[in-house]
Amino acid sequence: MQVKEFKVKWGMAIDIDKCTGCGACMVACQAENNLSPIEDASNKIKVMNWLVVYELSNKKPFPEHDVAYLPRPCQQCGTPPCVSVCPVIATDKNEEGGIVSQIYPRCIGCRYCMAACPYHARYFNWLDPVWPEGMEKALTPDVSVRPRGVVEKCTFCHHRFMQAKDKAIVEGRDPEALADGDYVTSCTEACPNGAIVFGDLNNPDHQVYHLARSKYASRLLERLHADTQVYYISRREWVRRQLDNYLDNEKVKG
């Protein structure tokens, strides 16, 4: 498949060394995107969280043990494994900005895209969403509520992108050239440690442009060539080694 190139490419640089696993990003994402709460959240492979904070371990015994936390949004791949397989084009990468879309009224719920995604970034509505009585008053108007039977995923808070472009137009600025910070995702905004930096990977005026080129930056499962737009930074080699599969004799980047 041809790789589409975009003038603007929204991406993230997440510093794993700064994440302390508090989960503010996970809760902010749910509130922003109208995910429904669930009474029993212990089946982690059936509970919906567009953003998941994984716990990494250097696998050493006490006291040499080291821990790291890795927030994993949708990687918004340049060559998305999911887009090419969707039979009904419910997901596509066709908009300036490079965000992989997910169109709920189009999705037939075949879950082929979920099989394709190695990052487990896609989630299925196994049941209808249920809010405790009255809590639907806290729904934001920006993101539609999904019925059962459709797939959903992190959209880099695409509605905020639209709002930022509208604001730029109203204020007489170029919506195709947003400044660093004009548009940030809910998780980026929420993180008290500033572990997530969001911006245009193609724009040198954006912080994320330089961070993505850091010697400590690499992407998850790079050697599968999905060309993701989320960069992970860590000064710890054992962490970087877990960003991809390495054979015993292979060295880690950085």
Among residue numbers 229 through 248, which ones bind another protein (CB under 8 A)? 233, 235, 241-247
For 39-69, b/e burial (b = at least 16 CB within 10 A) is eeeeeeeeebbbbbbeebeeeeeeeeeeebb
CB of 8 to another protein, least distance (A): 21
Distance, CA of 100 to chain centre:
10
Asked whether 75 and 230 are in contact (CB, 8 A), the reply is yes
Half-sphere exposure of 168 (CA within 13 A, CB side): 17
Pair of tokens at residue 197: 């930096």
Does 112 participate in binding another protein (rule CB under 8 A)? yes
Size of the site for another protein (CB under 8 A): 127
Binding another protein (rule: CB under 8 A), the pick from 62, 170, 172, 204 is: 62
Q: Can you tell me which of 8, 26, 157, 178 binds another protein, judged by CB under 8 A?
A: 26
Q: Which is nearer to another protein, 5 or 133 (CB)?
A: 133
Cα pseudo-dihedral 33, 36, 40, 42, rounded to 10: -20
Helix (H) or strand (E) holding 10: strand 10-15
| 70-109 residues near another protein, rule: CB under 8 A | 70, 81, 84-89, 104-109
Between 30 and 202, CB nearer to another protein: 30
Q: Tell which positions 163-182 bind another protein, by CB under 8 A.
A: none
Please list every residue from 121 through 160 that binds another protein, using CB under 8 A. 122-129, 131-151
In the complex with another protein, which residue's Cβ is closer, 7 or 144? 144
How far, rounded to the nearest angstrom, does the alpha carbon of residue 222 sit from its chain's CA centroid? Answer: 16
Q: Candidates 3-11, 31-39, 167-175, 198-206: pick the segment binding another protein (CB under 8 A).
A: 31-39
Contact mark string toward another protein, 209..228, x via CB under 8 A: --x--xxxx--xx-xxxx--
- Cβ atoms of 111 and 150 closer than 8 Å: no
Whichever of 7 and 223 has its CB closer to another protein, that residue is: 223
Q: What is the DSSP string of 106-127?
A: T-----HHHHH-TT--EEE--S
Minimal distance in Å, beta carbon 69 to another protein? 6
Q: Which of 111, 159, 167, 173 binds another protein (CB under 8 A)?
A: 111
The number of angstroms, rounded, from the C-alpha of 11 to the middle of its chain's C-alpha atoms is: 9
CB contact at 8 A, 113 and 85: yes
Question: Least distance to another protein from the beta carbon of 18, Å?
Answer: 5
Q: Interface with another protein includes 110 (CB under 8 A)?
A: yes
Q: Does 43 bind another protein (CB under 8 A)?
A: yes
